[in-house]
Amino acid sequence: MRHYRSGVLGAILFALALLASACGSGEDSGTKEGPTITIGSANFSENALVAEIYAQVLETNGYTVERNLEIGNREVYNAAVISGDVDLVPEYVGSALANQGGTPTADSAATAQALRDAWADKGVAVLDPAPAQSKNAIVVRQDTADALGLSQVSDLAEYTDLVFGGPPECPERQFCLIGLTEVYGLSFADFKPLDVGGALTVAALESDEIQVGLLFTSDDVIATKGFVLLEDDKRLQPAENLIPLIRQDIITAYGDDIVNKLNEISAALTTAELSEMNRRMGIDGDDRVTVAKDWIADNL
């Protein structure tokens, strides 16, 4: 009896293997024929999360994907896209345009079109911007705001003894320390290089190592920690909608379907949802793979 059951089971497993083999070959497999798509991201959690969303959606739809996340700042991943080492990245439309020598504005559509024009001769396509924006946010603790009467960025101009903290590249960025100096006339006692809107900046604010910090408008930690977001009253910060950059040869290989899938993601992604996903990662400690999977299940 034992041998009979084993034989039957073996035959069933063999038949299932043949069926799986048949289903796994040719056009019926659901796997698309074409090059592997390498997805990159900047070296901070929010950007890597959006890249993970791109990756999961494309994998589910039959694309072969490799991840190369948190590879560095804009100069690093731009060079990787141009060289072909990376095929797809999530970008922020205003900062991306400024990096290409353009002048972004608060008009998302116009800034996105200018970015398309800037990348067109480099073999890179710029797709649709998401409603979600993640602009630079200049923040202080509530007690600092109360003591100094701070509600907008220009209020900082009369205080030169404050320490400002933010991303290491901030002193070279037009929408960070350069703009705060040239547009607002701010002068700080010191600048401390920390991280890109992450735990180091939050901890430095809480401990009073810095009194002014750069986070992002999509950071739920601003409300969670009771920080005060200072109004950008001189409109230094441009539109910063999340937007996919993808090499044109990938679109040529796969056609409009990949463009449509990425644009569907963008259409569904709002600032509020981005903030909530950031909260889950930064406050609850959830990993980005799970957060991305849950967002996809709820929105696509």
Interval 31-41: pLDDT, tens: 999 999 999 99
- Average pLDDT of the residues of the chain: 90
Interval 82-128: pLDDT, tens: 999 999 999 999 999 999 999 999 899 999 999 999 999 999 999 99
- Residue among 44, 81, 65 nearest 288 (CA): 44
Phi and psi at 192, nearest 5°, equal -110, 120
Q: Is the pLDDT assigned to residue 281 strictly greater than 60? A: yes
DSSP secondary structure letters along the chain: -HHHHHHHHHHHHHHHHHHHHHHTSGGGG-PPPS--EEEEEESSHHHHHHHHHHHHHHHHTT--EEEEEEEESHHHHHHHHHHTS--EEEEEHHHHHHHTT----S-HHHHHHHHHHHHGGGTEEE-PPPS-B--EEEEE-HHHHHHHT-SBGGGGGG--S-EEEE-TTGGG-IIIIIHHHHTT----SEEEE--SSSHHHHHHHHHTS-SEEEEETT-THHHHTT-EE-B-TT--S---BEEEEEEHHHHHHHTHHHHHHHHHHHHH--HHHHHHHHHIIIII---HHHHHHHHHHHH-
Could you tell me which residue, 87 or 15, shows the higher pLDDT?
Answer: 87
Q: How confident is the model at residue 266 (pLDDT cuts 50, 70, 90)?
A: very high
Q: How confident is the model at residue 58 (pLDDT cuts 50, 70, 90)?
A: very high
Interval 176-209: pLDDT, tens: 999 999 999 999 999 999 998 888 999 999 999 9
Q: Is the pLDDT assigned to residue 11 strictly greater than 60? A: no
Task: Report the alpha-carbon distance of residue 38 to residue 67 in Å, rounded.
Answer: 6
Phi and psi at 260, nearest 5°, equal -65, -40
Q: Is the pLDDT assigned to residue 216 strictly greater than 70? A: yes
What number of other Cβ atoms are within 10 A of residue 236's Cβ? Answer: 19
Interval 124-167: pLDDT, tens: 999 999 999 999 999 999 999 999 999 999 999 999 999 999 99
Min mean pLDDT across 8-17, 123-132, 225-234, 273-282 is at 8-17
- The pLDDT score that the predictor gives to residue 196 is 86
**What domains are there in the chain, each with its CATH number?**
32-133+239-299 (3.40.190.10), 136-229 (3.40.190.120)
Classify the C-alpha dihedral 174-76-200-276 as positive or negative: positive
Write out 197-216 in H/E/C secondary structure: CCHHHHHHHHHCCCCEEEEE
Task: Report the alpha-carbon distance of residue 89 to residue 92 in Å, rounded.
Answer: 10
- The pLDDT score that the predictor gives to residue 282 is 86
- The pLDDT score that the predictor gives to residue 5 is 29
Contacts of 97 (CB under 8 A, 6+ apart): 103, 104, 111, 114, 115, 118, 238
Q: Looking at this protein, which amino acid is placed at residue 58? A: L
Q: Is the pLDDT assigned to residue 13 strictly greater than 60? A: no
Q: What is the pTM of this model?
A: 0.80
Assess contact for 138 and 180: CB atoms under 8 A. yes
